[in-house]
Amino acid sequence: MIAMLCSAGLAATPPEQLSVLADAVQEEIDRSMEQLKLPDQPGPYLVAVDLLDGDVATASASMGALVSTEHGPYRNGRVEVRVGSYELDNSNFDGGSITGGALSRPLPTDDAPGTADAVRQELWLSIDVAYKAAAETHAAKLAAREGVDAEFPPDLVPIAPLVTEPVGYVDADGARVEQVVTELSAAMASVPGMESAWAMAREWRGVRVLLSSEGHRAWLPAGFIVVRVEGQLRAPDGDLVTDGRWWVAPDWEHLQPLEVMAAEATSAASWTLAAAHRPAVDDYLGPVLFEGPAATELFRQLLAPQLSGSPPPSHGRDVFGSGVEQRPEARLGRRLLPEGWSVSDDPTADPEAAGAYAFDYEGVPARAVPLVEDGVLRGVLMSRIPRADLQASTGHGRSLGAERRVAMPAVVTVRPDKERSERQLRRKALALARQAGLDHVLVVRRIAPLATAEDGWTGDGLAPGLTPPLEAYRLYADGHTEPVRGLGFAGVDRRTLRDIAMAGHVGPLVGVMDGSPGPGRANIGTVGGLPASWAAPPVLIGELELRHCSGDEPRLIPPP
């Protein structure tokens, strides 16, 4: 693959170039460990720097025409300083300082002589700021725990350092990124009546170099391609009907061929056209059948927070009350799914999956984790942040920028007790609909991805909840279907998954972009976030409520 890309004229960054920078970073880490100390305060017990070096190409197009394109190098240093000990340090606590001891700062992208000195100068300032923040946060945390009679888990699990050979990378293919967005938006715009046909793509190619006072010196290849296309068409009553597609792949070889993506984009546009010409529907209460793509998104949105074992940060006594003791959302023993269901995560199972990796961002080898057994949560994903009942990392520590390295799902497979055919699913769905007094059942084919749903807005407010359907239709007993539009889910949460009445065959792994569990999960941006993969079956849920959520107005002027 590398040979093929090189022959196409793409530049490459050799490992030797980054080795020089890594040496400079390590020298600054060593100097900080030896000399950095405030009066009457402990020095750091751990200093770590993640050097993220890469080449990024991003482009967007509208109605078949390029509207923005950017291609260039990227270099960033994530600095983390810890004061105290593995048992009790400044981390996992909100308060005392803004950064808490971890910060992320752009670094010069130069490859000229002297760059290593410049990078070291930047890190000197970053480590200094991070250390002072760590000392303040550590003190604030001690103050918060003063007089609290409780057992607290350690803050960080020690691990053996990871040392690997340096690796380089091939630059992103900016021209190809431009071509993809232009052709996909053109494909969508080819359907008559489309008001907007927008596509955006990003290729990230690079390497994450882990360096720390613990002895890490690891070179982890990093890269992904994310492509999104979205179109809108206005119904005669003013409803803005939206549909879209998105793809995430580790490289061009594993991304869908352009003609396949273009056909999908056209299909999405055709759907909006069909849906726009159907009358708006009223609220719906009854069984809902989630087809493959919608089911994958359903599980991703509702299940992911239940699988991450990382405890939330604690905080001191403040206007929000005392939050010294924080309970992880993921509770072992909790029923998440019906009997017989299982969920597992294995970042190493399929190296071609978007979310696959060998080592997480903390240098911990990834391993397979059985999560749900017989519908009950029996295991959780862990980073190096332990909790009272679980200490060891499972190799799932990832996050964006300076955020805490918490456990994130990587390559998740959801398996039902029994896999039924599509025909059986539909028959059961119609039977449930009849019991509910309906002459049809609502089938949801796609729902909006969390990151693009109005900044994470769902039918129940900000996430958690479930983003609205993009493609949904009524299925009647005689087999005919009618597209519907303008519906949003209401009252959906993790308990909804217990009401799954029947499931189909588990689909293939689907690449998605996701954020760390927590309130910021939905704010990763259109092509931001970290790649993950999910495989899940289509499911039938016994009863769900969807409400009509219109509000747009018709166009006053005809289009050109």
Partner 1 sequence: MRRPLAGLVAVATLTASLATAAPPADDPLLDVAQAELDRLWEALATRPEPPHHLQLAIVDTLSVRVEATHGASNGVRSNHTRQGDVDIRVGTPQLDNTHQLRDATWYDEEPRPEVVLPLSADPARPTAMALWQATDEAYATAVRRLIKVRSDLSVKVASEDSSADFWPAPPRVDLGPTAGLDVDDRAWEERVRTASAAFRAWPQVHDDNVSFTAQATTTSLLTSEGTRLRTPRTWFRVSIWASTTADDGMELSVFDYLDAAGEEGLPTDLSAMASAAAERLVALRNAPVVDPFAGPAILRGRAAAVFFHEILGHRVEGHRQKDEDEGQTFTAKVGEYILPEFLSVHDDPKLERLGDLDLAGHYLYDDEGVAPQRVTVVDHGILRNFLLSRSPIDGFSASNGHGRRQTGAAPTPRQGNLLVSASSSVPYAQLRVMLKDEIRASGAPFGLVFDDISGGFTFTGRSTPNAYTVTPVTVWRVHADDRPDELVRGVDLIGTPLTTFSRIVAASDEVSVFNGTCGAESGWVPVSAAAPDLLVSQVEVQRREKAHDRPPLLPPPGAAP
- The residue ranges that bind partner 1 (CB under 8 A) are 27-28, 31-32, 35-38, 61-70, 72-73, 106, 108-110, 112, 114-115, 117-122, 124-125, 128-129, 131-132, 189, 195-196, 553, 555-560
**Pair 92, 154: CB distance under 8 Å:** no
Instruction: Give the C-alpha separation, 263 to 217, whole Å.
Output: 45
**DSSP 8-state symbol, 84:** B
- Beta strand 411-415 with 530-535 is parallel
**Pair 50, 78: CB distance under 8 Å:** yes
Q: Considering the complex, state which of residue 25 and residue 280 has its C-beta at the smaller distance from partner 1.
A: 25
Residue 90: CB minimum distance to partner 1, A: 16
C-beta atoms surrounding 106 within 10 Å: 10
**Pair 535, 510: CB distance under 8 Å:** yes
Burial class (CB in 10 A: 0-12, 13-18, 19+), 25: buried
Q: Considering the complex, state which of residue 195 and residue 350 has its C-beta at the smaller distance from partner 1.
A: 195
**Pair 222, 207: CB distance under 8 Å:** yes
Residue 488: CB minimum distance to partner 1, A: 23
C-beta atoms surrounding 94 within 10 Å: 19
**Among 215, 162, 213, residue whose Cα is nearest residue 29:** 213
Residue 89: CB minimum distance to partner 1, A: 19
Q: Considering the complex, state which of residue 508 and residue 554 has its C-beta at the smaller distance from partner 1.
A: 554
Question: How far is the CA of 80 from the CAs of 131, 134, 362, 403, 475, in angstroms?
Answer: 8, 9, 12, 10, 54
Residue written as token pair 């991450």: 308
Residue 140: CB minimum distance to partner 1, A: 16
Q: In sequence order, which residues have a C-beta less than 8 Å from that of residue 306 and are 6 or more positions away?
A: 329, 330, 334, 336, 377, 494
**Among 223, 360, 300, 355, residue whose Cα is nearest residue 517:** 300
Residue 24: CB minimum distance to partner 1, A: 8
CA atoms within 13 A on the CB side of 470: 30
Residue written as token pair 């994130």: 408
Q: How many residues in the chain?
A: 560
Q: Considering the complex, state which of residue 119 and residue 472 has its C-beta at the smaller distance from partner 1.
A: 119
Q: Considering the complex, state which of residue 55 and residue 514 has its C-beta at the smaller distance from partner 1.
A: 55
Residue written as token pair 């700062």: 105
Residue 123: CB minimum distance to partner 1, A: 8
* φ, ψ (nearest 5 deg) of residue 234: -95, 130
Q: Considering the complex, state which of residue 33 and residue 332 has its C-beta at the smaller distance from partner 1.
A: 33
Q: Considering the complex, state which of residue 109 and residue 550 has its C-beta at the smaller distance from partner 1.
A: 109
* Residue 336 amino acid letter: L
Q: Considering the complex, state which of residue 131 and residue 473 has its C-beta at the smaller distance from partner 1.
A: 131
Residue 137: CB minimum distance to partner 1, A: 14
Residue 172: CB minimum distance to partner 1, A: 14
Residue 202: CB minimum distance to partner 1, A: 16
Residue 209: CB minimum distance to partner 1, A: 17
Residue written as token pair 């057994």: 373
Give me the helices (H) in 277-386, please. 292-307
**Among 219, 229, 26, residue whose Cα is nearest residue 119:** 26
**DSSP 8-state symbol, 90:** S
The H or E element spanning position 17 is helix 15-35
Residue written as token pair 């070291």: 120
**Among 534, 497, 508, 302, residue whose Cα is nearest residue 413:** 534
The H or E element spanning position 196 is strand 196-212
Q: Considering the complex, state which of residue 168 and residue 538 has its C-beta at the smaller distance from partner 1.
A: 168
Q: Considering the complex, state which of residue 58 and residue 496 has its C-beta at the smaller distance from partner 1.
A: 58
Residue 268: CB minimum distance to partner 1, A: 18
Q: Considering the complex, state which of residue 72 and residue 340 has its C-beta at the smaller distance from partner 1.
A: 72
Residue 244: CB minimum distance to partner 1, A: 18
Q: Considering the complex, state which of residue 283 and residue 454 has its C-beta at the smaller distance from partner 1.
A: 454
Residue 102: CB minimum distance to partner 1, A: 17
Tokens of 165: 């050979």
Q: Considering the complex, state which of residue 45 and residue 124 has its C-beta at the smaller distance from partner 1.
A: 124
